[in-house]
């Protein structure tokens, strides 16, 4: 308690001294306020930062298939349930096979007839050719027999294709999964009549996920396939998921004027699910030896960016040139140097030359002068704040 009271007394004395020193013959500087504005400052340092691009997209499964009927028929059986894992080729829906089986038998019979007609026609052609070569029949008869053989062969081919179609129809009565995954939806019911193209089930393989993003022209120029991407979802606010850029579109979409970018990520534990909204951050470049400050500390004066810097007891308006924006921060290309004390709180009440009362006194970076640290100086000179005093 003694330490706290002593510190308060010293602060009060310092403040009173600063106020009295400004109340002399010359008065306060032009533009300064009579009463100091309380502010907090941040000591600028030089370091490195990673530039990023951020966008939002919806998670979808990499393999997401809507399975439709390829034949007409009545649903006889549905051997799977929603959420069940299925393998590629496993039956999802079974249609009544009776008509398809009859169709196969009919096609087989037609093929037998066509085969017999073809054999007969080819035998006639062989005899006619022998007679024609010996001059026993005229050319017209031989040509007629030859045409009949061709017709018989064509009939055989039609019957053969018909049998293949009938067998395909029989196979289509058993609707199977084209991929291994999980049944997301079943759209059919037993007894329902379905036609060609009717959706009957939905199968999803979510072991790999995709996120489609739309980036503007300023963002996309620094995004490359293979770069890492950090994915966050609202369902797991404390977790980051690692993905990679798979594809960067070569042209902008006509309506949105954005470039499509695809992020892929592994989902072995199946924590992420299709339909979740993801916030994606893509690292684009490492920037070395730069000054970075919070974007909120930047003010606009006369249409140009600036910051307020603590210069002893006054706020000094300093124009700055800004570079890349990195999340909530921005790179300062010029206007600030290592050790400058930027006003980080209370800047909205300042103008150039305003008297300030710095409430926090951060240490400056090594190798720079300290112009606003009175309490730190007193602490170095003696243990004014020792508990036993």
Return the pLDDT at 374. 38
pTM for the full predicted model: 0.58
Q: Where are the domains of the chain?
A: 22-51+288-373, 53-62+206-284, 68-194
Return the pLDDT at 361. 67
Instruction: Identify any residues that bridge with 281 across adjacent strands, giving them in sequence order.
Output: 54, 230
Let me know: does 172 contact 59? Beta carbons within 8 Å.
no
* The CATH classification of domain 68-194, taken from the options 1.10.287.470, 3.20.20.10, 3.40.50.720, 1.10.530.10: 1.10.287.470
* The CATH classification of domain 53-62+206-284, taken from the options 2.170.190.11, 2.40.30.170, 3.40.630.10, 3.40.630.30: 2.40.30.170
The arrangement of secondary structure in 22-51+288-373, i.e. its CATH architecture, is Beta Barrel (2.40)
How confident is the chain (389 residues) per 10-residue block, as mean pLDDT? Answer: 41 42 44 75 87 91 93 94 94 93 94 95 92 89 93 95 94 94 94 93 94 92 90 94 94 92 93 94 85 91 92 92 84 91 92 90 51 38 35
Return the pLDDT at 198. 94
- The Cα-based distances of 112 to 40, 151, 169, 193 in angstroms read 97, 16, 20, 33
The CB-side HSE value for 153 (13 A sphere, CA atoms) comes to 9
Return the pLDDT at 31. 45
Let me know: does 281 contact 223? Beta carbons within 8 Å.
no
∠ CA 245-250-251, rounded to 5° = 125
Q: Positive or negative, the Cα torsion across 237, 242, 246, 251?
A: positive
Closest-CA residue to 189 (of 201, 178, 177): 201
Burial grade of 365 (CB within 10 A; 0-12, 13-18, 19 or more): middle
Q: Positive or negative, the Cα torsion across 58, 64, 70, 75?
A: negative
Closest-CA residue to 91 (of 201, 208, 195, 237): 201
């Amino acid at each position: 308690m003694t330490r706290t009271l002593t510190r308060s007394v010293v602060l009060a004395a310092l403040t009173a001294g600063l106020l009295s020193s400004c109340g002399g013959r010359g008065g306060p500087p032009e533009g300064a306020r009579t009463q100091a504005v309380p502010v907090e400052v941040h000591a600028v340092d030089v370091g490195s930062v990673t530039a990023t691009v951020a966008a939002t997209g919806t998670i979808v499964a990499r393999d997401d298939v809507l399975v439709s009927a390829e034949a007409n028929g009545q649903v006889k059986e549905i051997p799977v349930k929603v959420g069940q894992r299925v393998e590629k080729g496993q039956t999802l829906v079974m249609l009544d096979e009776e008509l398809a089986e009859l169709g196969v038998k009919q096609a087989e019979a037609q093929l037998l007839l066509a085969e017999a007609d073809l054999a007969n026609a080819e035998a006639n052609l062989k005899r006619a050719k022998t007679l024609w070569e010996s001059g026993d029949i005229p050319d017209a008869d031989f040509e007629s027999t030859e045409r009949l053989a061709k017709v018989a062969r064509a009939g055989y081919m039609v019957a053969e294709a018909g049998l293949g179609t009938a067998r395909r129809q029989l196979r289509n009565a058993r609707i199977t999964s084209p991929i291994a995954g999980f049944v997301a939806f079943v759209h059919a019911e037993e007894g329902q009549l379905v036609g060609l193209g009717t959706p009957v089930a939905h199968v999803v393989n979510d072991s790999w996920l995709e996120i489609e993003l739309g980036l503007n022209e300023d963002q996309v120029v620094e995004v490359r396939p293979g770069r890492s991407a950090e994915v966050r979802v609202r369902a797991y606010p404390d977790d980051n998921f690692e993905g990679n850029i798979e594809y960067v579109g070569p042209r902008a979409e006509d309506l949105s004027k954005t470039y499509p970018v695809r992020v892929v990520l592994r989902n072995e534990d199946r924590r992420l699910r299709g339909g979740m909204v993801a916030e994606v951050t893509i690292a684009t470049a490492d920037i070395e030896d730069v000054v970075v400050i919070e974007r909120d500390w930047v003010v606009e004066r006369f249409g140009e960016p600036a910051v307020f810097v603590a210069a002893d007891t006054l706020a000094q308006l300093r124009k700055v040139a800004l570079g890349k924006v990195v999340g909530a921060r921005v790179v300062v290309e010029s206007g600030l140097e290592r050790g400058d004390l930027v006003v980080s709180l209370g800047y909205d009440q300042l103008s150039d030359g305003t008297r300030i009362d710095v409430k926090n006194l951060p240490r400056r970076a090594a190798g720079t002068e300290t112009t606003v640290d009175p309490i730190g100086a007193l602490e170095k000179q003696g243990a004014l704040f020792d508990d036993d005093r």
